[in-house]
Structure formats: C-alpha cells, structure tokens
Structure 1
C-alpha cells in the first residue's frame, strides 16, 4: 500500500483521537467515572501512537546509507512494535489498575448524562476514523480472507490503526454499558468492572500487534505468490540449468531483497552468464517492482548441496530452511 494512503489513515485517526481525548478527560473530571477515565487514557495513548507511526513512516523513507546499506525500511516495523508496547504498558495496565482501585472503593458517578453525551460523540468520531481505516484495508484486501491478509500484510500501519480503532469502539461500548448499568442499578462497582474490561481489550490488541510486528521486524519473506513467481521466472530463463535456492526478505512494505543461487549451463561463457543475470533481474523487477535488490550466485547444484551439508553439520541455521529447495532436496 502506498505511503500516502497509510498517512491519510493515520492522520484521520490522529485528528479523531485528539478530539475524543480532550472531551473524555473533561467528562471524566466532571463525573468521576473510572470507565470514562480509562477511555480518556486510551484515547491519549492512541493519539501518541499515531504520532509514533508517522515518525516511523518518515524515518523508514530515508535513503540507504553506508551504515544502513539496505535502507531504513525496518524502522517502520520497530515503531509499530513500540506502539504495541505503549498500548499494553500505558493503556491496558493503567486502565486495569484504575478499574481495580474503583472496584475496591466504588463511588457513584456524578452527572452520568454527561458521560452519555460524550460517549455518543466519541462513537461518532471513532466510527469515522474506523471507516477510513477499514476502507483502506479493504482496498488492500481485494476480497481475500480478512485475517489471512493481516497475517500476510507487510504494511503494519493500516491494520495497526484499524485494530486500534476497533479496540476503541469496543471500549466505548463497554464504557457506555458500564456507566448505564452503574447508574440504573445504583452499582458504582460496575464502573470499575468496565474499566478492567477496557484494559483487557487493550491488552489483547497490544498482544496481537506485538506478535505481528515482531514477525516483520525479525525478517519475513515475501508472500508465497511472489516467491513462486520469482522462482518461475528464474527457472524459465534460458541458460539456467536449475534453481538451487531462492530467498526473499522484506526490508519495508515495498522493498524486497531477493537472493538466488542458480546452476548455469556449463556451456555458457562468463559473458553469457552476465547477460543472463542482467535479463533475469530485469524480468523480476518488471514483474515485481518491490524487488529493489537482487543478488544472484552462480553455483552448481553439487557445490550448493555440499555447502548446505557442511553448514548443517556445523550446526548452522542458514542452510536448514530454504524457501525454494533445490532439485532433489527433501
């Protein structure tokens, strides 16, 4: 997904969360509602998270340098992981502790109608932000399974905002139920219970985002269709006897490193091998523009197998798993 689309989604969420946070804090201070205070904290955390994601996008867009020869794309994944940590450490933990405190010492909510109005407005603001994020996500999804796209997506910004907004909407519903029940049944303890539930919702959201971002941060391969397409192009190239190994790694949502080990025909001259590599790189980039860096190793299958066996025997992990096994590999 284009960076401009990601930024639009983040800016929409940032504007909505900032407005909601101020409104919730005012309502929480007036009414003394624990659930409303948890929601206010949640909105402040979300606002900060949008700023962090924008910083991540900006830093990830920096060009490659001598110290970072593959660019800075992985920084986006790092900042997404920071967002997950903040959601858990600030949003979830504070909400749960505040709720437990209110359960232990329940207090009646003053002027609950203020909470009703604020929560209603918050649902409208949050719903607008959620709609923007959902449209952007559905555009990327293109009819594919919802959770399958999340697992395979290499751009964490959109689904991070979508899950934050989904958690926010769920939290608003819980807060509204808690405030209404606390008021109608005259049970102030339910306000604290709602705060704890909001914290648990945030904890689950943070855990999911942390899992997804750490997977990207530690080096995910391209999606199966891209890997299979690169393999097919390499194997179909005249002059290539066989494909020993093909590995890919995302250095950002739109940046893939491709490493190929090819067995060229013995009859080719050095110049013909160079021409074959050049044609192959052009074909791969034409089919997959995100393949920014392509490295080709000329190696016979026998030599490749020997190196692989030596690495395995030495306890190395580098040759244990191959995205595309060579001929005869198990």
Structure 2
C-alpha cells in the first residue's frame, strides 16, 4: 500500500489514544518536575532554576489546554458546524503556545535580566544538579513517547520526524514534541549556567542561563503560534494526501474523471473536500444529483473526510491524473 493511501486509511482512534497518552504523560512529568525545580530555586536562589521552574509550570498549564483540544476536536458535526469542531483544536493549541510565551519565555527573560547585576550568595549547587538530573530523566521519558509517536507516523508518510512534526495537522503532537524537546535543551542550558556560576563564582552566568532559556521558549512559542495560525486560516492538504484522495475518487465506480480537487484541513487528520467530477454515463439531471450525493455520502464515511462537496466538471476541462 502506498504512503498516501496509508495516510487516509490509518486508524484514527488509535492515533487519538496515542496522542492522549502523550499529553497525559507530559502533564504528569511537568507537574513533578515543576515542583522539584520550584523547591530547588527557592532553596538555592539560582536564576536558571527559577527560569526552569517557570518553564515547567507553563508546560503543565499548556498540557491542560492540549487535553481540551483533544476533547473538543472529536465532537461530531452538527447543523451549526457542518465541518465539525476540528478547528477548535487549533484554538486551544494556540492558547497553549501563547501561554508558553507569556508564562515561560517572558518570565524567564525578565527574571534573568533582573539578576544580571545581583550577587547571588554561595549556595548548595548539589541540589540544583540533582534536580536537573531527575528532571532530565522525567522529561526524557515524556519526549521519547512523543518522539516514538511522531517517528512512526513520519515513517508511514515517508518523511523525516522533524518535517512531520512541523507539517502535521495534529497540533497536540506538535506542541508536546516541541515543548519536550525545548525542556531537554533548557535543562542543558540551566546546567551550564549553574556549573559556570560554581566554577567562576560569577552569578552572571546563572542569569544568562535564565535569559537563554527564555529566548529558547520564545522561539518555540512563535513557531507553534504560526503553525496554529496557518491551520486556523485554512491549510491545504499536502500532495501525498491529495493524490490519495484523487485515487480514491477515480476508483469509485460512478466517477469517470476528476477535473478539480481541493482539500483543506478542518481539524487533526480531517479535510474538507471539494471536487469537480464527470460521472459515468449520461443520466438525467435529477439522477446526476442523486449520484453526486451518493458519492459524497460514501466519501464522508472515510474518517479523514469531514465534508465532501461534488459538482460536475465543465465540458472540455482538463482532467487530473493520480500518480502511480
């Protein structure tokens, strides 16, 4: 089976349960790590640890937004929302990205800047190292869960893991993967800040660690905000998905050819389909309308197609061909 075909026929329920497990694991890890970092930051006064605590609390709050995104996106469509509620997942994911920027990036940068001229007293660096090591283990477990999910889906689609994370219509997977990756990098930055502070006795390195963590979170937040903005505006499905749906249309016994096809994401792994087709035979207008409606209904039974709208091709209009 081709990669395009697998994309349109993969079990959505298993993907949803996998995404939910990823979010829950990340939430649990972030709460535990946030408490540990907060205690360490309070006891040692380390600017890097305070920044990391803010980072983890922001991530924990964001996971709640992502859980809401997972919950509302699967609501069935109704007369008021014929395309379903899938786009609401991007709204909640956008809230999570903004939260990462405000509660994570801004707090970390402001705290680091405020500590640049301050002289931190000698402290128990061992506490910071222990907490950072424990946090790295918890964050690493959470990251591996999101990585395995993203890597498996990327293999099915024949793309790299990072490319899939950036392009996927699943905002939950993208957010958890990005936040977990940023968490691991942030821990390394905090470790270097604390270590250089200990080796040199200069607290400016600790403050710089806090600022760098904030900059890292700001970059990740801007990427997530931009991706959610694009999907809210209406992201066109990639070529592999278009080819899969085109092949499905051309294999339908009632469809002779397809001259126009538009696929637009209306939620995670869900598209709105508009196509101009030529039907087999030369039926009366009323029969053609019934035939088109029957094909639409059959297409909508595919779990990845939220709504299908078909019209007749214009005479002489060039037809589309599915790639082999």
Counterpart residue number, 1:316: none
Q: TM-score, normalised by structure 1?
A: 0.84
Q: Counterparts of 2:138 and 2:253 in 1: how far apart (Å)?
A: 58
* 2:236 corresponds to 1:221: yes
Mean CA deviation greater in 97-106 or 248-257: 248-257
* 2:4 corresponds to 1:4: no
Residue by residue over 1:110-144, the C-alpha shift from the partner in whole angstroms, topping out at 9 and shown as x without a partner, is 21111111111111111111111111111211152
* 2:13 corresponds to 1:22: no
Deviation at residue 267 of structure 1 after TM alignment? 3.2
Deviation at residue 162 of structure 1 after TM alignment? 1.0
Counterpart residue number, 2:148: 135
User: For the structure 1 residues 244 and 328, does the alpha-carbon distance in structure 2 shift closer, same or farther, using more than 3 Å as the test?
Assistant: closer
Q: Counterparts of 1:212 and 1:301 in 2: how far apart (Å)?
A: 39
Deviation at residue 168 of structure 1 after TM alignment? 0.5
| Gaps in structure 2 of 5+ consecutive residues | 1-11
Residue by residue over 1:25-77, the C-alpha shift from the partner in whole angstroms, topping out at 9 and shown as x without a partner, is 11100100010000000000000010110011112222223322221111101
Q: Larger relative contact order (C-alpha < 8 A, sep ≥ 6)?
A: 2
Q: Counterparts of 2:252 and 2:97 in 1: how far apart (Å)?
A: 44
Tell which structure's C-alpha radius of gyration is larger: 1
Counterpart residue number, 1:211: 226
Written as runs of structure 1 = structure 2, the 5 A alignment for 1:159-238 is 159-235=174-250
Counterpart residue number, 1:38: 51
User: For the structure 1 residues 245 and 114, does the alpha-carbon distance in structure 2 shift closer, same or farther, using more than 3 Å as the test?
Assistant: same
- Contact 1:167 / 1:202 at 8 angstroms: preserved in 2? yes
* 2:269 corresponds to 1:254: yes
Written as runs of structure 1 = structure 2, the 5 A alignment for 1:7-86 is 7-86=20-99
Of 264, 277, 284, which residue of structure 1 is paired with 2:292?
A: 277
Counterpart residue number, 2:7: none
Q: Counterparts of 1:233 and 1:57 in 2: how far apart (Å)?
A: 28
- Contact 1:18 / 1:47 at 8 angstroms: preserved in 2? yes
Residue by residue over 1:235-294, the C-alpha shift from the partner in whole angstroms, topping out at 9 and shown as x without a partner, is 5656756534211122211322111123457833235524643564477467x5412321
What RMSD, in angstroms, separates the aligned Cα atoms of the two structures?
2.4
Deviation at residue 188 of structure 1 after TM alignment? 0.9
Q: TM-score, normalised by structure 2?
A: 0.86
Deviation at residue 196 of structure 1 after TM alignment? 0.5
Mean CA deviation greater in 152-161 or 227-236: 227-236
Q: How many residues align?
A: 305
- Three-state SS of the structure 2 residue aligned to 1:297 is strand
User: For the structure 1 residues 32 and 243, does the alpha-carbon distance in structure 2 shift closer, same or farther, using more than 3 Å as the test?
Assistant: same
Q: Counterparts of 1:203 and 1:188 in 2: how far apart (Å)?
A: 23
| Gaps in structure 1 of 5+ consecutive residues | 303-325
- Three-state SS of the structure 2 residue aligned to 1:261 is strand
- Contact 1:28 / 1:36 at 8 angstroms: preserved in 2? yes
